[in-house]
């Protein structure tokens, strides 16, 4: 494109001079690109994140979709057994020789009495059922926000693993790999706790039922938050989106909610037994959205009160219309 009358100041440009200038321009472009590339390469990676990309596996047991049970009353261990029985027994989900990962909520270094973490009795009962089903190995993990060793110790989870014969897997720096969710807005190039998932056949989520100051409720979907590494607290500003994306990471084998005592106020940390209500309920489901839709009612709220449930359901992570599902119910004691 030329502009009439406009000329460029040049010497009597020879072919050689033009080639020299073009080469200089090329070197300038290459130098700028190299600086950019170097800058990019110098981007500091956290020690906790390996460069390998992680993809979640398939953990759902065949022909178990849409199973949902609710057991009220009875003691915690008994209700766990009955809830499992109603969805087909642990044998329907865990086969002999399989490796099972139990994702607990060990977020805080608080005692079991405050109900902020997975109760050791609940965990112990589920480990026993996995072992009875023939699991070759039962692993237990979480990436707590407080010091992991202290969290596992003070919550009673470490002792429960020891008593029941499960292996506690710590979230060490090398256990994280980067994960990008297809179509995800927040989970892009984010470190996730991949190490404990390596080689496992089944993943079961075990969560308490809690009020949550930001999200409204912390249930089975929010429990996957503990699989994230990095500076994940930034997600609190967009809590419903992050829980929706957690719901889409993978389909678990099973989730179980412990509403023996639900934290109905001052969550997610609580701090007092006065924050708990004896709701005496255990929920088991292969559909985490359905489990949470029922679990939130124990807090006196509706599934519609949690925007992330509608978002997760709309994106195919599970069903909110539990009234149309075949819910197996039982009352104990």
Partner 1 sequence: MPARSRRTTHPAGPIERVVSWFVLLALVLIAAGLWTLQSRPNPALIPGASSPPAVAVAAEGWLNAIPVDFSPMGPPERFNAQTVSDKIDGKAELYLSAGFVSLTTRRMAGRERASEWFEVYVFEMESPRAAFAVYSAQRRPGARALPAPAEGYVAGNGVFALRGRHYVELIAADLASAPAAEAFAAALLDKLPAEKAALSERDFFPPDRLVADSVGLIAESAFGFDRLNQVMTARLRAGAGEVTAFVASRATPEEARALAQAYEAFLLANGGQGRPAPAGLAGTVGVDLYGALEVVIARGNVVAGIHEADDAESGWAAAQALGARLGEMLPP
> Is residue 158 within 8 Å of 118, Cβ to Cβ?
no
Quote the least distance from Cβ 275 to partner 1, whole Å. Answer: 7
Write out the two tokens for 72.
């009220």
253-292 binders of partner 1 (CB under 8 A): 265-269, 271-275
Is 38 an interacting residue with respect to partner 1 (CB under 8 A)?
no
Query: Helix, strand or coil for residue 236?
Result: helix
Sole binder of partner 1 in the list 80, 107, 151, 320 (CB under 8 A): 107
Is 73 an interacting residue with respect to partner 1 (CB under 8 A)?
no
Distance CA(311)–CA(242), nearest Å, equals 11
Is 49 an interacting residue with respect to partner 1 (CB under 8 A)?
yes
Is 53 an interacting residue with respect to partner 1 (CB under 8 A)?
no
Which helix (H) or strand (E) element contains residue 21?
A: helix 15-41
Sole binder of partner 1 in the list 234, 316, 321, 331 (CB under 8 A): 234
Stretch that binds partner 1, among 28-36, 66-74, 129-137, 197-205 (CB under 8 A): 28-36
Sole binder of partner 1 in the list 20, 32, 65, 149 (CB under 8 A): 32
Strand order in the sheet with 176-179: 49-53, 176-179, 190-193
Is 214 an interacting residue with respect to partner 1 (CB under 8 A)?
yes
Distance CA(173)–CA(97), nearest Å, equals 29
Stretch that binds partner 1, among 110-118, 250-258, 279-287, 324-332 (CB under 8 A): 110-118
Strand-pair category, 202-212 with 216-218: antiparallel
Sole binder of partner 1 in the list 69, 72, 110, 141 (CB under 8 A): 110
Is 36 an interacting residue with respect to partner 1 (CB under 8 A)?
yes
Beta carbon nearer to partner 1, 11 or 63 = 11
Q: What are phi and psi of 85, to 5 degrees?
A: -60, -40
Distance CA(190)–CA(171), nearest Å, equals 15
Is 174 an interacting residue with respect to partner 1 (CB under 8 A)?
no
Stretch that binds partner 1, among 91-99, 199-207, 231-239, 289-297 (CB under 8 A): 231-239
Is 191 an interacting residue with respect to partner 1 (CB under 8 A)?
yes
R_g of the chain, CA atoms, integer Å? 26
Q: How many residues make up the chain in this entry?
A: 333
Compute how many residues bind partner 1; rule: CB under 8 A: 64
Quote the least distance from Cβ 218 to partner 1, whole Å. Answer: 7
Closest CA to 255 of 210, 221, 204, 317: 204
For 255, residues 6+ apart whose C-beta sits below 8 A from its C-beta are 204, 205, 206, 207, 220, 223, 284, 285, 286, 288, 291
Is 18 an interacting residue with respect to partner 1 (CB under 8 A)?
yes
Is 108 an interacting residue with respect to partner 1 (CB under 8 A)?
yes
**CA dihedral angle for residue 63, residue 89, residue 102, residue 123, rounded to 10 degrees:** 160
Sole binder of partner 1 in the list 41, 44, 278, 324 (CB under 8 A): 44
Residue 289 burial (CB < 10 Å; 0-12/13-18/19+)?
Answer: buried
Beta carbon nearer to partner 1, 92 or 239 = 239
Is 134 an interacting residue with respect to partner 1 (CB under 8 A)?
no
Is 221 an interacting residue with respect to partner 1 (CB under 8 A)?
no
Query: 238-253 as b/e, with b when 16 or more CB fall inside 10 Å?
Result: ebbbbbbbbbbbbbbb
Residues that bind partner 1 (CB under 8 A): 1-2, 6-13, 18, 22, 25-26, 28-29, 32-33, 36, 39-40, 43-46, 48-49, 107-111, 113-114, 145-146, 154, 188-191, 212-215, 218, 229-234, 236, 239, 265-269, 271-275
């Amino acid at each position: 494109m030329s502009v009439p009358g406009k000329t460029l100041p040049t010497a009597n440009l020879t072919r050689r001079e033009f080639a020299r200038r073009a080469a200089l321009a090329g070197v300038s472009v290459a130098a700028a690109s190299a600086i950019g590339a170097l800058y990019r390469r110098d981007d500091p990676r956290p020690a906790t994140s390996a460069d390998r990309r992680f993809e979640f596996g398939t953990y759902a047991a065949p022909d178990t979709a849409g199973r949902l049970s609710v057991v009220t009353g009875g003691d915690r261990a008994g209700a766990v057994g009955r809830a499992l029985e109603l969805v087909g027994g642990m044998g329907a989900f865990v086969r002999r020789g399989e490796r099972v990962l139990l994702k607990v909520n060990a977020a805080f270094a608080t005692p079991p009495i405050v109900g902020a973490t997975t109760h050791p009795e609940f965990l112990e009962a589920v480990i026993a059922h996995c072992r009875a089903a023939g699991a070759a190995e039962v692993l237990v993990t979480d990436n707590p926000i407080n010091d992991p060793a202290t969290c596992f110790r003070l919550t009673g989870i470490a002792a429960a693993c020891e008593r029941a014969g499960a292996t506690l897997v710590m979230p060490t720096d090398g256990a994280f790999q980067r994960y990008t969710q297809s179509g995800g807005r927040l989970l892009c190039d984010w470190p996730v706790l991949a190490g404990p998932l390596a080689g496992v056949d089944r993943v079961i989520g075990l969560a308490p039922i809690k009020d949550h100051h930001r999200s409204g409720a912390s249930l089975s979907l929010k429990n996957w938050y503990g699989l994230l590494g990095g500076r994940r607290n930034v997600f609190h500003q967009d809590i419903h989106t992050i829980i929706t994306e957690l719901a889409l990471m993978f389909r678990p084998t099973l989730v179980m909610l412990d509403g023996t005592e639900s934290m109905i106020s001052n969550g997610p940390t609580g701090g007092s037994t006065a924050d708990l209500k004896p709701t005496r309920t255990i929920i088991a489901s292969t559909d985490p959205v359905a489990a949470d839709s029922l679990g939130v009612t124990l807090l006196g709220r509706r599934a519609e009160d949690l925007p992330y449930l509608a978002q997760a359901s709309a994106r195919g992570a599970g069903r909110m219309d539990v009234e149309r599902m075949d819910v197996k119910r039982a009352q104990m004691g």
